Chains A and B, each alone.
Chain A
Amino acid sequence: MGFLRKIVASRLAALGLILTVAVAFMAIFAPWLTPFDPAAQDVTQRLIPPFGRTPEGLHLLGTDALGRDVLSRLIIASRISLLVGVAAVIVSGFFGVMLGLIAGYDDQRAGRVIMAVADVQLAVPFLVLALAVAAVLGPSVFNLVVVLGVTNWVQYARVVRAEALTLREREFVQAALALGASTPRILARHLLPNVMSSVIVISSLQVARMILFEASLSFLGLGVPAQIPTWGSMIADGRNYVSSAWWVAAMPGIAIFLTVVGINLLGDRLRDLLDPKLRHMER
Chain B
Amino acid sequence: MARYLATRAIYSVLVIFGVAVLVFFLVRLGGDPTALFLPPESSIEEIARFRRQMGFDRPLLIQFGEFVWRALQGDFGKSLRYGEPAMRLVWDRFPATLQLSAVSLLLSVVIAVPLGIAAAVNRDSLTDRVGLFFSLVGQSFPTFWLGIMLILVFSEKLAILPPSGRGTWQQLVLPAVSLAAYSTAIITRLLRSSMLEVMQADYIRTARGKGLSERVVVYRHAVRNAAIPTITVIALQVGALLGGAVITEEIFAYPGMGRLAIQAIANRDFTIVQAFVIFMAVLIVAINLAVDACYVLLDPRLRKS
Contacts and interface: CB of A to CB of B under 8 A. Distances in A.
Interface residues of A, number: 48
B16 interface: yes
Instruction: Summarize A's interface: helix, strand, loop or mixed.
Output: helix
A256 B141 contact: yes
Interface in B29-70: 29-30, 36
Interface centre among B30, B140, B233, B270 (most CB of A within 10 A): B140
Interface of B: 11, 14-16, 18-19, 22, 26-27, 29-30, 36, 136-137, 139-145, 148-149, 151-152, 156, 186, 190, 193-194, 229, 233, 236, 239-240, 242-244, 246-247, 250, 261-262, 265, 270, 273, 276-277, 280-281, 284-285, 288
B136 A128 contact: no
A137 B30 contact: yes
B136 A261 contact: yes
A257 interface: yes
B29 A137 contact: yes
Interface centre among B142, B143, B229 (most CB of A within 10 A): B142
Given A124-B22, A125-B280, A127-B247, A136 B141 contact: no
B250 A256 contact: no
Interface centre among A116, A120, A129, A256 (most CB of B within 10 A): A120
A280 interface: yes
A132 B140 contact: no
A235 B148 contact: yes
Interface of A: 116-117, 119-129, 131-133, 135-138, 208, 212, 215-216, 219-220, 222, 232, 235, 238-239, 242-243, 246, 249-250, 252-253, 256-257, 260-261, 264-265, 279-280, 282-283
Contacts of A243: 152, 156
Contact of A124 (B149, B244, B250, B281): B281
A225 B262 CA distance: 17
Given A131-B262, A280-B190, 7 more contacts: A123-B16, A123-B281, A124-B22, A128-B246, A137-B29, A261-B136, A282-B190
B22 A260 contact: no
A120 B284 contact: no
B236 to A, nearest CB: 6
Contacts of B148: 235, 238-239, 242, 249, 253
A128 B276 contact: yes
A229 to B, nearest CB: 16
Contacts of A246: 152
14 contacts: A122-B239, A124-B280, A127-B243, A132-B273, A135-B270, A136-B26, A215-B145, A239-B148, A249-B149, A250-B149, A253-B142, A264-B136, A280-B229, A283-B139
A127 B149 contact: no
A132 B28 CA distance: 12
Nearest to B274: A132
A125 B239 contact: yes
A120 B22 contact: yes
Contact of B240 (A125, A253, A256): A125
Nearest to A119: B15
B151 A242 contact: yes
Contact of B30 (A136, A253, A261, A283): A136
A187 to B, nearest CB: 26
A68 B199 CA distance: 55
Given A119-B15, A136-B36, A137-B30, A125 B242 contact: yes
Given A212-B142, A253-B142, A280-B193, A127 B244 contact: yes
Contact of B145 (A136, A235, A282): A235
B141 A253 contact: yes
Contact of B277 (A128, A208, A212): A128
Contacts of A136: 26-27, 29-30, 36, 270
B34 to A, nearest CB: 13
B194 A264 contact: no
B246 A261 contact: no
